Structures are given as C-alpha cells and as structure tokens.
Structure 1
Amino acid sequence: MDHDTAPGTTGGLTVEEASRRLLELGPNRLPDPPRRGVALRVLDQLRDPMILLLLGAAALTAALHDLGNTAIIAMVVVFNTSVGVAQQVRAERAMSALRALTAPTARVERDGVVAEVASEHVVPGDLVHLTAGDVVPADGVLLEAVTLQVNQALVTGEALPVDLDEGDELVGGTSVTRGRASARILRTGADSGVGAIAQMMVRATTRPTPLQRRLTRLSRDLVAVISVLTCVVVASGLWQGRPLTEMLVVGLSLAVAAVPESLPAVVTIALALGARRMARHNAVIRSLPAVETLGSVTVVATDKTGTITEGTMLARHVWVPDGTWAVSGSGYDPRGHLTNAASSSPGLPAPVQRLLRDAALCNDARLVHEDPGWSVVGDPLEGALLVLAAKGGLDLDETRTAWRRTAEEPFDHTTLRMTTRHAGPDGSALTICKGAPEAVLDIVEPGPAVSVARGVAGAFADEGLRVIAVADAGSTDVGRALELVGLVAVGDPPRAHAALVVERLGAAGIRVVLVTGDHPGTASNIARAVGIEEEDVVARVRPEQKVEVVERLQRSGEVVAMIGDGVNDAPALRHADIGVAAGDGGSEVAKQAADLVLMDNDLSTVVAAVQEGRRIFANIRTFLTFALAGGLAEVAVMLLGPVIGLVLPLLPGQILWINLLTHGITGVAFGNEPSAPQDMSTPPRPASEAVLTARSWLLIAVAVLAMTAAAITVGALAPGSVEERRTSIFLTLGLAQLGVALALRAPGARRPFRSRHLELAVLVAALLQLGAVVVPPLQALLGTTVVEPSGLVPLALAAAVPGVLVRLVIGVLGWRRRA
C-alpha cells in the first residue's frame, strides 16, 4: 500500500504520524526467513525411511522386553538426528551474524527537522534526503535531483551508474554515487520491490538435491525389499511350526542386518565435514546437501557484475599522443603501475603526468581507506580516475590543494562533459574538461592527434570499455583554446581468477553460462576475456528471465548452479539446484536465497566446492558399497544358519554391534577420505545415474559371497556350544567387514599421516570387536563367549580372505573411483 502526506504539503511527516505508520505498517526491513523449532527439525531428520524402519525395530524390541537391543537402536537414531539438527542451527547462526554486520541509517525530515534514523524506521510518506554514498532506504519518487547518479548494479546488474531526474522512481537498496536529492518514500519493507522479491524467496519451496533424490529412491527400495524378505522368512517359519516370538526375533534380526542404519549419519557427517572444509575457504554452507550438489552440477550459470567481474570500475588503459599505457591493479586499491612496452625510460612522461593531474582535479569523488580496504565516495568512474592518478604517483591531497578549484560546470546530460577551473600556486589559471569522447573531441583544437584519438576511443569501446576524454587549457576561456590531453579507458574488469575458474570447470566437464542484465557488447567482451563461449552468453535479461534460463536448462536435464550477488539474481538463485551468493558486498536478498555464501567473493572457492562435492559423493558411494555388502552378508548368514544347525546364527544385538562398529566408526572415517586425482578431470555424473552402478553391485556381490562363505565355514567348523559357534561367526563377520573397508578405499589419493582416519577407525573397531568377546559387561549385553587364543588365528585368516578378493577384483577391473 502506498501512503503520502496530506494534500498540499511538501515537507516531511510529523514524529507522531511516522510512529503511527511504523506501528501500522511494520518496520522497513526484509521479511525474515521462517524459523523452525527444534521439534520440527527433529521430525525432518526422522522422516528418512531407514530411520523409520529402525524406530519400528526399536518399538518391537521394546515390546519383547529386549531392552539391550532397544538401547543400541535408540543410540543410533539419536546420533543421526543430533548431527543433522546441530549443523542446521550452526548455519543459521552464521547467517544471522552476517546480517548483523550492517545497520544502515537514513536522513529523514520529521517535524521540519532533518534527523538520522535507522533505515528500518523509515515509513511511507517520509521525506528522505540523499547525498553521494547514501543507500536508498526504500522505494520512492524523486522530488528534487541535482546531478543525481545512482548505482543500480545489485538490482539491475548494470555495472555503470544511471542518471535520474525529478519524477523518476528510486529503488530501495540502490546507492547514490553522485549529486544530491530528496525523495518521498512510497513503499517499505515487504511492499517494496526488493521486499517483494525477498518474500517470494522465503515462500519458495526447495528442490531436492540429486543426492537426496538418489538416496530417497535407494532407501525406499531397500525398505521395500527388506520388508518383503522379512515377511517371507517369518511366514515360512510359522508355517513350519516355529514359535511366533522366535520368528519375530528372526525377522527383526534380518531387518536390522540388511538396513545400513548408519547411512543417514554417515551422509550427514560427510556433508558436515565438507561444510567444515568449505568454511576454511570462507564459504558459509546454509544447507548441508548443498555441499554435495555442486559436485553434481553440469552447468554453472553466473551473473557478470560483481561475480565474474570485480564490480568496481578500474582504469585499464591510458592513451596520450605519445603512446598507450596499460594499468595494473585491482579494485580501488591505489597500488598498481602504468606500463608501456615501448618505453624504457624510468618514470612517467610529462604528457601522462599531465593527464593524471587533470583527471584528479576535474573530479568530485573521494578515495577513502576503511577496513577492510579502499572504497570510493562518489561516481565510480571518477573514483577510477583518482585511483589511476594515485597509481601514477600523484599525491591527491597535495595536488588539489595546489590547484584550488575556482569554478565548475557540473556534468550535464546534454553536453556529456564536466568543466572545472583552477588557480595554480603561482597564480596561473587552468581549465580542465572531461567527458564522453564525442563531446570533448568536438571542442578541442583540431589536429592529427584528435583524429587518432577518435580511432583509439572506438577501439576501446569495442572492447566493452567506457572511454573518457580529457582536455585542458592554460586560460579560463572554454572553446577552441582547449587542447586534447588524452584518453582513459575504464571498465569493470574480470576477477583475477575468473579465467582459471572457467578453465578448471571446463576441464571437469562443466559448462559455464553468463547470464546478465548488462549490455550484450559488454557481456560478450567479458565472456571472451574469461573463456566463456559466445553462445553461452545471455544478456539484457530481467530477474524473471534469469529464472526462465535456469528452468530451461533444468528441463533439458542439466543440474544447474547459479552464482550471483544482486537482488535481480535472487529468484534464479532460489530456482537453481544450488544457489551460490557473493557475500562480500552482495545483497541480503541474494544471501537469503542462496545455499552457499562466498564470504570473500573468491570464485576459486566454487572449484573447491565442486571438488568437495565430488569427493563427498564418491565417499558416500564407497560407504554404501561397503555397508550393503556387510548387511547382505549378515542376511545371507542369517538365512544359511539353519544349514549348519544354527536357527539364529547372530542375535539382533550382535548385528547392531557389528553395524555400529563397521558402519558407524568406519563409516564416519569414509566421509573423510581425500579426493582421488581424477575427480576433477572427469565429466559430471548423469542426473539419471543411480547412486550405485553395475560396478558397485559387482563388488558388493564378490564381498557378500566371500564374507558369507568365511563366516559360515568358521561357524560350521567351530567346536563348542551354540553360543561359542555364534561368537565365532560374530567375530569373523565383523573383522571381515573391516578388511573389506580397507580394500574398497581409492588408491592413489594422497593421505598425510595425520589424515589416516580410516586406518585408525578400522583399528579401533577391531579392538572393540575383540573386546565384545572378552569384556564381561559386553559379553552379557551381546550374548558372546570367550574365544580361545588358538581359535583366533584361523578365524583371523578366514576374515582376511574377503578383503583380499575384493582388492584383486578391483585390480583386475581397473580402479575408477566414480564407477
């Protein structure tokens, strides 16, 4: 709803009226994302089909008064749930801290007095006063505008500021770069343009990630197969006349054996470890599955301004009649150099020094140094000229003091130039004119240099650069007395590592698409500079069109990552499979819409995230191969037990103990395995590819047959009572799974000694497995007995055979980590 002051009034609101509107309409801030309580977070974690199966098993064991097994199952469920909830809370706290870093203010007129108030207290109808450096607090209409220029990059994606006049609308979140203005506020908070986009982002649903879709499908299939198998076995036993209680225990044992109950915990921990590693790259993970999703992407769609480029104007070239100088440096940092390959003399020649002096004097911007770096107050183009002068060794304060400004003609939209007059230290006069080449070159003394300058300016413009012509005269008469000094080519340069990032993503089989609201020529030039193909450039797009680009790619089967920093990027960030926002200088709306926030805007973090995602998926796939092999081997042992005279070859508690050690301790270690060398030199996984491939199932089959044969053989040959034979099977099967874990790990990956987590986990699990048959409390809990030392040697040899066979099969087939 729009509000205005009473008819006929041109001033601001009264304090009383402003307070009433604030109470009625609410504060001028973006809608907060919905907060979920602990109960809802826990329910989210408990919806996994395998966790639901475990909860059912816990209920059954409790009904049968098997409190030991109930306690073990409950421990697994609590562990899985706690890890997931804790990571969600940590991510939200990190984003809350990020939002609290800035507390903008605005100058409003209340009761005839201009006062500074928090931006969130601005209401519709307020009269806001703006000067260079201010952020527009909300949507409004201009009542007065004096040489006003506004940077709308975060909203429209255009790198260059735009000029606005009285009657034009202002958009909240943009910033004033030059001039001054007063505006009547029309819309605030959720009613503003930015607020509407933010509200749409908050309400939007999140697409399941490729990993979530794969694991959900696998979980449902496993639960269905296990349920049918369990029912068949129980029904068969009842048909043979077995007691109901006994068959319920057998069925429960089969279900517990087949379910990789630690999978949710292993996946969550693998993702949490990935999020922790990404934090070292100054990236905040807002959603855990986002860590893996980047490893699945086939297309990276990226904004231009502030993402591929620095988002700051930088002088790239200087031309004077004597030659062209290249300018080095980054952003507004005055460190850099001017170089000319054809010049061997030290220092800059007089014509270049003259150009730098004029560029600094005919200039209203200010260069300031604040934590964490340099910034410009005023027009970014003029700021680029100041930085250029500083790189050339000019002392800005000293120069401006020596050449005192006596008069000026501000930049005019009609003439496209600005003129200033100065008095020198010796009383001499100096007139400087700068502006668009077509405006300045027409009023200078004609000559060969002017003709050359027109051609040079055209060549710079063809490169997507903004060209500024500078002329001066040693008198106060503006006209043909002006002499051309030179040209400065200014542009928003690509980030230092942008080309390398595009190259590395291409090597990983990932296509990069540039999607921007900027001019097609500018977009094409930037794309060429960083190595993006011309057909992958989409320019002059509105926010809703960016969403269309993302959805069109998704419909064609692509997994899309969107990178951006502006309000105009937020809808596309939300609709992409994963949204990546630039956190340093990026809009709050973009950060709310994103899954991953780059705190330092370093694009190389995206490459690290892709590698991390592929590493996580490969480790999850390896764990699943290992876990299913162990679980199916346990099922096979349970089914073949009666063949060797054991109706119940393993107790439910023994199965859970094996799984807790092998799937729990060892599974967590799998999540920390390093990347394989080939992870970033192979194409992305097809979206339709299952989490387990034919190769994975072959390895599972070999491991299951070998482990089952080893356990059944040991159980058949072991002397003693049922409990002693069951203990031998328990030991053999547990140790055999640990051997298979070592066999499945990827060869060739570099593992420093301090990163040998899997070996340590296997050692700890083996000791605990042995402890289960020698420690009295564990014996009582698990129903095991002591194994004589003489029987341990053949048992250990039998347990080693499956791991050796799996390793031999891997060697014969040739290792491909992602297969």
Structure 2
Amino acid sequence: MTVRQAPPRGLSSDQAALALIEHGPNTIPAPRPPSTWRRVLMQLRDPMILLLLAAAVLTASLRDLTDLAVILVVVVLNTTVGVIQEVRAEHALAALNRLAAPQATVRRNDRTAVIPSADVVPEDVILLQAGDVVPADLELFDAIQLQADESTLTGESVPVEKDATDELYAGTVVTRGRGAGTVTRTGSGSALGRIAALLSNQRPRATPLQRRLAALSRMLSIVAVALSAIVAVAGLVRGLPLPSMVVTAVSLTVAAVPESLPAVVTLALAIGAHRMAQRAAVVRKLPAVETLGAVTMVATDKTGTITEGLMQAERLWTESGTAVATGTGYDPAGDLVPPGVSPDVQHLLRDVALCNDAALRAPTDDDPAWRPIGDPTEAALLTLAHRGAVDPDDLRAAYPRTHELPFDSARKRMTTFHLSPGSDDVLVIGKGAPEVMLTPDVTPYGDLDHAKAVAAELSEAGYRVLAVADKLVPPSAPRTENGLRLVGLIAITDPVRRNAADVVATFGEAGIGLLLITGDAPGTALAVANRIGVHNGDVVTGSDIDNGKDPTSGHVFARIRPEQKLDIVRAWQDHGHVVAMTGDGVNDAPALRRADIGVAMGEGGTEVARQAADLVLTNDDLGTIEAAIEEGRRIYTNIRTFLRYALSGGLAEVLVMLIGPLLGFAVPLLPGQILWINMLTHGLPGVAIGAEPADPETMQQPPRSPQEQILGAGLWKRIALTGALIATVTMTAAIWARSVGAPWQTMSYLVLGLAQLGVAIALRRPSPPDGRRLRFLDLAVAGALAAQVLPLALAPLRDLLGLQVLNVTEILCALALASVPGLATAIGWHMRPARTSLHRTWTWWRAGRKRLTKH
C-alpha cells in the first residue's frame, strides 16, 4: 500500500510570479537567431546569386558599368526579399511553437489550474495522470499505481514503477495511474534540459516537399546552364565578343531557374500553418501541411470530435426506479425529475462522486462557463451529484480514499476503496462498461438481466452507459474488484455537433471517407453514425478485430481499445489510403505516429497524444480537420501554380534567346533586360501566388495521389505550352517591329515581361464570397507592371537597360500581343476542374490497385 503524506498546498500566484522572475521560464533556451549580416551572407551563398556576383566581377573588369549596375540592383533586391521572407517564416513558426506549447496541471492558490509548462517554477505542486508529459523534474509525494516511460532519457522502453518519494524527470511520460509531486528543477537545469541544450543548435530538417523541390531546382539549374551555354556558343559563332556572351549566358541561367522557389515554399508552408492555427488547427510538424492535401480517409473518435465533448449525465436507473437530470453543461445548477432523491438514487450518487478523480472549475472573469478538470465523463458525474443535492467534497471528507485501481482501457473499469465513517469497514466502489460490470463474477448480486436490457436500450438510443456497483467489507478482507452488488446505471449523453453532418457531407464531396471509432457500445456508435450520415456497412467491434476481421469491412467501429486503432490505420493504409487519425489518450500515441496525419485533441486530450501528433485541434472539432485539409490543398496547389508561372516564364526567356538568332536577331535581349524582367516577374508576384486563397471548388475535387510528382497531373505540359506561347508572342512582336522600323528589342522586352504578368493574373484564384476583391497578388502584379513600364518613361533607367522610346501604336500592339498568353491561360484555367478531377481519380485508382497487388 502506498503511504500518503500530507499534501503540500502549492504556491500562490504571487509566489509563482516571483519564482518565475528568479528562475526564468521552464523552457530550453533557444539558439540566438542569426544576425542580419549572417542572413544576408546566407542569401549570397545561393548558387544563382554567386553566378550573378561572378558576372558582376566580369562586367566590372570590362568597365561595363551599365550591366554592372543592373546586376548589383538585382542582387540587392533579391537578397532583401529573401531575408524578409526568411524572417516572416521564422516569426510564423515561432508563433506556432507558442501555440503548441505543452501544459501542466498545478495547485495554485489552493485550487487546481492548468497553465503552460513554461510557467512552472520550483516548489510548484504538479498533478499527474496517465498520458501526461512530466513538465519538470519533481519529487513525488503521492503515487497511485504510477508508471512512467523514461525512454527519452534512459533508452529503456519498459515503464518504471514509481512510488511516493521517488523522482520523476522532465520529458518522461506517465503511462499508468496518477500522482503528485513538488518541482525541484526546471528549464535547462532539468534532466531533459541538460540533454536538450546539447541539441539546441541543430537546424530543423527540410520537409519532404522542400527536398523534392530542391532536387527539381538542381535539375533545372543543370538544364538552364546547358541551354545558356548553347546560347553563348551560338553568339560566339556569330562573332559576338566572349565577355558579352558570358554575361548573357549567366543572366539567362539566373532567369531560367526560379531562384525564389525555396523562399516561396518555406513561406507558403509557414504562413499556411499559421493560418491553420488561426482556424484552431496547430501544426506541430511542418510536413503535415503538405500531406494534408492527399488525405483520403479520416479516422475519428466520436467523443469530443463528432460530438461536443460536453458530457452530461442525463438519466439514472436503479432497481427501484429511474430519474432524469435537468441543467446544462457542467453547471451544478439543476434538479432530478421526479423531485425528491430516493435512497437508491442517493446511494448511486454517493458512489459516482467517490469513485471519481475529476473536479469542476467555477466560472472566472475570463471564462464564464463551468469547466471540467480531469476526465469529462467523471466531471459529468460530479455535476449529476450536485443536481441530486449531494456534495462531493463532503463525501470525500467523510469517506477518505485508501486505495484505488485506476481506470484502464483494457479493463474498462475503475475501482476505489474508502474508509466507511463510524466503522473500520472498507467501502469498495466500481464503475465501468456494462459488459464488464454486469457479469456474475464482478456483480453477482442484483437483477443483472434487467440491468443488461436497460443498458442495451439506452445504448441504442445513443447514450453512453456506465454500470455502478459496490460492497462493504471488513478491513482485513483482500482488495478485490469482484463480488459487488449492483447499484444502478447512468446514461450519459454527448450531443452531436451541429456541423458534424455537414462536415461528413463535405468530406464525401472531396473524396474523403470517414471512420467513426468509439469505445462505446455498438448501438451508441450506430445511432451517432446514422445521425451524421456515415456509411455504415458492418459495425466492427474490438472483439471482431481480435478474431481476425478485416477492419476495412466497415466504417463504424465500437468497443475499440486504443491500441486497436493501430490495426485500423494500418489496414486502411495497406488498401492505398492516406489516413488522418484523431486521438487523445496515451495509448493512442502509436496510432497517431503510424497515421499519415496524427491529429490530437487540444482541449480534452493528454499531453503525450499532443506531442505524438502532427496536428493539434484546439477546439476538438471535426470541422477543424476539414479546414486543415482545405488549407493543405490550398498550399500544395499554390506551389504548383507558382511552378507553372515561374517555369513557363523562364522557359519563354530561354526560347527567345535560342530562337531569336535563327530569325536574324543577333541578341534578342541584353543581359540587363533579362535580369530586370526576371526580378520583377519572379519577385513579389511569385510570393503572392503562394499566398493566394483556396479555390472555392477545392473541396469538391478528389484528393491528389500521394504518388503524384510535383510536376505531375499534366503540369509540365501546361508549363511547356505556356512558355512556348509567351516566346511566340514575344518573337512575333520583334518580327513586326523590325518590319515597320520600330525598336524591336524594346518591344521584345516589353511583351516578354507583360505576358508573364498576364499569366500571373490569369492564374489568380476566384475571390471567395466573403473575401476581399483586391489581394496581395493584384498589388504585386500592379507594382511589377509599373516597374516594367517605368524604364520607358525615365531616361536614366531607359539608358541603363538599353531601351528606346515607343510610340502609342507600338505600345498598344505590345499590350495586345502580351495579353494572348494570359487569355489562353485563363480559358484553360477555368476548364481545369473537370480535367484535374478525372486525371486525379484515375491516378489515385491506379496507385491503389498497385498497392493492393503488392500486398
């Protein structure tokens, strides 16, 4: 038996505030961010920038001050934009880290409170239960069957039994039982802090998408260098000077490769993750952002996700009668109907108040609602006791707890032992699932057949049912959970969220299936599934899975143990699906890691589940998963849109420089003109494309195949067509200008730049019904357009870029030709949903068949 000490009272708010000032926050000191100069140097290490710097040295040695000035302007502006994008991405990720910070349950001001782990200080009293991550080093003074997983420190995977006076270390996980302890060390002084400090300077790894795009950039660089070399050699053959052709080749290489691609991707992922956080979905692992767009199946708990997570004990049954509770939420105000508490009902309320580890938090100025502390189901039982005029605090004082067997997902029950007032006898109380409690071994005394029939009826009506039983034994009797007498049943309801059916329907339109998973009875699961429109098939139970039934034979799962979620996730993945799974308990962690997207509950979930997940829902709402998937699709689509825009423009510039000499244009564009066009088109407009809102039809399209390449689904063909069309209209403008004696090189410069900006406008997303019509992309294109035309009006810039003045007719002709690629793109862009849907459905089906054949 665990020896109980007089529990410390904990700190007051003032004491905690002083200790926080003295000891600092309970966090590992983050490495200092790089200085501005270091950021600049990192930008200058980019291969494309190094090429430009080499060209600058060459032009300076040749005293070619015009090209030198243009190159230096491009380097300065690109570096500035790169540094700004890097800082914005870091700020967005830092904000996410603050939102995803772990929490701790403490005793402050003689009350239980939940605070950020960073605010824990020495001498704080920490309350722990299964699923919590220990926030700091502490010395236990209370331990009830407490086990801790210390593998993060020791590498030993077997949980360690903990007793009162033992130490617990920061970062370890409570796997069973509950306990309390006093903080001894925090932050970098803790055991985990000393290890983490050694790793604090490790840079985060790139996401899979960033690595794939980096490989794409390397391939494009090789192709661009080869093509630019061909341009240079062709110029030399025609007798053009070597230095001039080298600078031209370097400029063309820089223009052909979208050097802003890494910055656009990083910023799109970081800002997208920040936008998700504003929609109550906190991304803990950046790769989750890109994976979300490919999700085909969402496996979700019923309680708190499909339902409101607001447990309410609504009906009571005893052998002498029934009662219904009135009231809302966890507010103790309410009554039992019929009025007047019978002895049997009072007996039942006493037991559920004593066999209980939860508490109720009264309203505050910041939060006017009553809130549960601990398990919501147990908090609902406390609320029920209050509504029956039974005070749990008085009961706990009168019946001190001497021992307990905490709730366990395998046993599906909890048992507590209490000293009986006025005698030495021990009161044993058990509560749990009816199929566990209502057996002759556990509860041999009472009308079990009638109780089973009532429990089945309540379950089919959608209630979660608990059976309660107790016994009074002498102090010398062994501590057993069996041989109890039936006390009664309690039916708990958790209202289905208003938006649940709409979310399920949206998932269906988006080609995403829903798996409803619950530990409740099959009748309860089926009732909720019918209410929200989940395709039923067979209701698969935990026993069915144990007996070898295929988890993919149904969409509704009942009486599922947390560890069985791993089997469900694995089975659907083996059938070619990309699975997102929700979880909240310590036993959910393996399945959360196994799932393609692990989703943890931020309100009611355990800390270990949040740490194992990729995504944390701060409102535990299924609709938030829909919003996160939509955001993931938006980000991935925008990256592909940027690639189409940037690569088609780069291809057009290369084609112009390759085809121009064949048509009699010795140098279609000067190096400065190429760099100026590239800087304007790939700069802010490219970044703005990454920030475009979601397509209104994005959730009416099937998910992309996880095997789809970044340039797949016909994207490379569209890049080739758009690039060829831009090059065609550019050369058409040059040929026409030469035929009428107009400045053909200036016409080429103007049409090439304006055509690319026209494509950017054509790729603009439709404005959502409640969205702003003027967006960042509009402003970015307007600014680039002004900067493109400005050299024609300003003599110093005109001379710098080697341009000439155009008359009104020539400008109008340039505008007409430059609008053709944009118009063609817009027509194809508006026809894309049907083509994309058919192609992705075919690709996804074919990939699924391959995986099925493999397995």
Q: TM-score, normalised by structure 1?
A: 0.70
**CA-CA distance at 1:689 after TM superposition:** 1.3
Contact 1:320 1:351 in 2 (8 A): no
Q: Partner of 2:732 in structure 1?
A: 713
Alpha-carbon RMSD = 6.0
Q: Partner of 1:476 in structure 2?
A: none
Pick the aligned partner of 2:788 from 769, 775, 800.
769
Segment of structure 1 superposing worse, 361-370 or 764-773: 361-370
Q: Partner of 2:760 in structure 1?
A: 741
- One-letter identity of the residue aligned with 1:367: L
Q: Partner of 1:160 in structure 2?
A: none
Which residues in structure 2 correspond to 1:151-162 (within 5 Å)? none
Q: Structure 1 residue 387 and structure 2 residue 383: aligned?
A: yes
Q: Partner of 1:349 in structure 2?
A: 338
Tell me, in whole angstroms, the C-alpha distance in 2 between the residues paired with 1:48 and 1:295. Answer: 34
Q: Partner of 1:267 in structure 2?
A: 265
Q: Partner of 2:819 in structure 1?
A: 800
- One-letter identity of the residue aligned with 1:52: P
Tell me, in whole angstroms, the C-alpha distance in 2 between the residues paired with 1:445 and 1:290. Answer: 51
Q: What is the percentage of aligned positions where both structures have the same residue?
A: 39
Which residues in structure 2 correspond to 1:36-75 (within 5 Å)? 37-38=33-34, 51-65=46-60, 66-75=68-77
Q: Partner of 1:234 in structure 2?
A: 232
- One-letter identity of the residue aligned with 1:38: P
Q: Partner of 1:91 in structure 2?
A: 93
Q: Which string of whole-angstrom CA distances, capped at 9 and with x for unpartnered residues, describes residues 422-453 of structure 1? A: 99xxxxxxxx9975586999999999x87523
Pick the aligned partner of 1:251 from 246, 249, 252.
249
Q: In the superposition, relative to structure 1, how do residues 184 and 698 fare at CA in structure 2: closer, same or farther (>3 Å)?
A: closer
Q: Which string of whole-angstrom CA distances, capped at 9 and with x for unpartnered residues, describes residues 114-161 of structure 1? A: xxxx977589xxxx998999997789999987xx58799999xxxxxx
Segment of structure 1 superposing worse, 301-310 or 652-661: 301-310
Which residues in structure 2 correspond to 1:407-806 (within 5 Å)? 435-436=430-431, 452-457=450-455, 465=464, 467-469=466-468, 486-490=488-492, 501=503, 504-511=506-513, 531=534, 534=540, 535=551, 540=561, 559=578, 561=580, 563-565=582-584, 578-584=597-603, 586=605, 591=610, 594-693=613-712, 695-718=714-737, 724-745=743-764, 750=769, 752-806=771-825
Structure 1: state its 5+ residue gaps: 1-9, 13-26, 108-117, 156-163, 339-346, 424-431, 473-481
Contact 1:674 1:750 in 2 (8 A): no
Q: Which string of whole-angstrom CA distances, capped at 9 and with x for unpartnered residues, describes residues 465-489 of structure 1? A: 45244899xxxxxxxxx99885213
Tell me, in whole angstroms, the C-alpha distance in 2 between the residues paired with 1:11 and 1:435. Answer: 26
Pick the aligned partner of 2:362 from 344, 366, 369.
369
Q: Structure 1 residue 76 and structure 2 residue 66: aligned?
A: no
Contact 1:299 1:560 in 2 (8 A): yes
- One-letter identity of the residue aligned with 2:218: R
**CA-CA distance at 1:685 after TM superposition:** 1.0
Q: In the superposition, relative to structure 1, how do residues 38 and 381 fare at CA in structure 2: closer, same or farther (>3 Å)?
A: same
Contact 1:565 1:587 in 2 (8 A): yes
**CA-CA distance at 1:248 after TM superposition:** 0.5
- One-letter identity of the residue aligned with 2:229: C
Tell me, in whole angstroms, the C-alpha distance in 2 between the residues paired with 1:509 and 1:695. Answer: 21
- One-letter identity of the residue aligned with 2:379: G
Secondary structure (helix, strand or coil) at the match of 1:677 reads coil
Segment of structure 1 superposing worse, 656-665 or 751-760: 751-760
Q: In the superposition, relative to structure 1, how do residues 459 and 184 fare at CA in structure 2: closer, same or farther (>3 Å)?
A: farther
Q: Partner of 1:212 in structure 2?
A: 210
Secondary structure (helix, strand or coil) at the match of 1:785 reads coil
Contact 2:350 2:385 in 1 (8 A): no
- One-letter identity of the residue aligned with 1:53: M
Which residues in structure 2 correspond to 1:26-45 (within 5 Å)? 32=28, 35=31, 37-38=33-34
Q: In the superposition, relative to structure 1, how do residues 566 and 759 fare at CA in structure 2: closer, same or farther (>3 Å)?
A: same
Q: Which string of whole-angstrom CA distances, capped at 9 and with x for unpartnered residues, describes residues 641-691 of structure 1? A: 224543222223322332333333333332343323331133221122122
Q: Partner of 2:849 in structure 1?
A: none
Secondary structure (helix, strand or coil) at the match of 2:697 reads helix
- One-letter identity of the residue aligned with 1:61: A
Q: In the superposition, relative to structure 1, how do residues 502 and 34 fare at CA in structure 2: closer, same or farther (>3 Å)?
A: farther
**CA-CA distance at 1:743 after TM superposition:** 2.9
Contact 1:620 1:671 in 2 (8 A): yes
Tell me, in whole angstroms, the C-alpha distance in 2 between the residues paired with 1:615 and 1:144. Answer: 50
**CA-CA distance at 1:502 after TM superposition:** 5.4
- One-letter identity of the residue aligned with 2:260: S
Contact 2:210 2:265 in 1 (8 A): no
**CA-CA distance at 1:713 after TM superposition:** 2.2
Tell me, in whole angstroms, the C-alpha distance in 2 between the residues paired with 1:624 and 1:327. Answer: 60
Tell me, in whole angstroms, the C-alpha distance in 1 between the residues paired with 2:288 and 2:184. Answer: 38
Q: In the superposition, relative to structure 1, how do residues 615 and 333 fare at CA in structure 2: closer, same or farther (>3 Å)?
A: farther
- One-letter identity of the residue aligned with 2:634: R
Secondary structure (helix, strand or coil) at the match of 2:235 reads helix
Tell me, in whole angstroms, the C-alpha distance in 2 between the residues paired with 1:300 and 1:72. Answer: 47
**CA-CA distance at 1:255 after TM superposition:** 1.1
Q: In the superposition, relative to structure 1, how do residues 585 and 40 fare at CA in structure 2: closer, same or farther (>3 Å)?
A: farther
Tell me, in whole angstroms, the C-alpha distance in 2 between the residues paired with 1:747 and 1:293. Answer: 24
**CA-CA distance at 1:265 after TM superposition:** 3.6
Contact 1:565 1:586 in 2 (8 A): yes
Q: Which string of whole-angstrom CA distances, capped at 9 and with x for unpartnered residues, describes residues 179-217 of structure 1? A: xx8889999999999999999999999886453354234
Q: In the superposition, relative to structure 1, how do residues 264 and 168 fare at CA in structure 2: closer, same or farther (>3 Å)?
A: same
Secondary structure (helix, strand or coil) at the match of 2:793 reads coil
Contact 1:674 1:751 in 2 (8 A): no
Q: How many residue pairs are counted as aligned between the two chains?
A: 737
- One-letter identity of the residue aligned with 1:70: L
**CA-CA distance at 1:387 after TM superposition:** 1.5
Contact 2:147 2:176 in 1 (8 A): yes
Tell me, in whole angstroms, the C-alpha distance in 1 between the residues paired with 2:193 and 2:585. Answer: 13
Contact 2:258 2:650 in 1 (8 A): yes
Q: Which string of whole-angstrom CA distances, capped at 9 and with x for unpartnered residues, describes residues 51-89 of structure 1? A: 533432333234323232133134224413431343224
Tell me, in whole angstroms, the C-alpha distance in 2 between the residues paired with 1:73 and 1:352. Answer: 82
Segment of structure 1 superposing worse, 296-305 or 366-375: 296-305
**CA-CA distance at 1:231 after TM superposition:** 2.3
Which residues in structure 2 correspond to 1:101-180 (within 5 Å)? 104=106, 148=144, 174=174
Secondary structure (helix, strand or coil) at the match of 1:705 reads helix
Secondary structure (helix, strand or coil) at the match of 1:38 reads coil
**CA-CA distance at 1:720 after TM superposition:** 11
Secondary structure (helix, strand or coil) at the match of 1:690 reads coil
Secondary structure (helix, strand or coil) at the match of 2:362 reads strand
Q: Which string of whole-angstrom CA distances, capped at 9 and with x for unpartnered residues, describes residues 227-249 of structure 1? A: 22122332343355432212202
**CA-CA distance at 1:615 after TM superposition:** 1.5
Secondary structure (helix, strand or coil) at the match of 1:297 reads coil
Tell me, in whole angstroms, the C-alpha distance in 1 between the residues paired with 2:6 and 2:342. Answer: 48
Q: TM-score, normalised by structure 2?
A: 0.67
Structure 2: state its 5+ residue gaps: 8-22, 61-67, 110-118, 152-160, 406-412, 472-483, 541-550, 840-855
Contact 1:649 1:729 in 2 (8 A): yes
- One-letter identity of the residue aligned with 2:697: Q
Tell me, in whole angstroms, the C-alpha distance in 2 between the residues paired with 1:540 and 1:630. Answer: 55
Secondary structure (helix, strand or coil) at the match of 1:772 reads helix
Secondary structure (helix, strand or coil) at the match of 2:317 reads strand
Q: In the superposition, relative to structure 1, how do residues 648 and 31 fare at CA in structure 2: closer, same or farther (>3 Å)?
A: same
Segment of structure 1 superposing worse, 189-198 or 612-621: 189-198
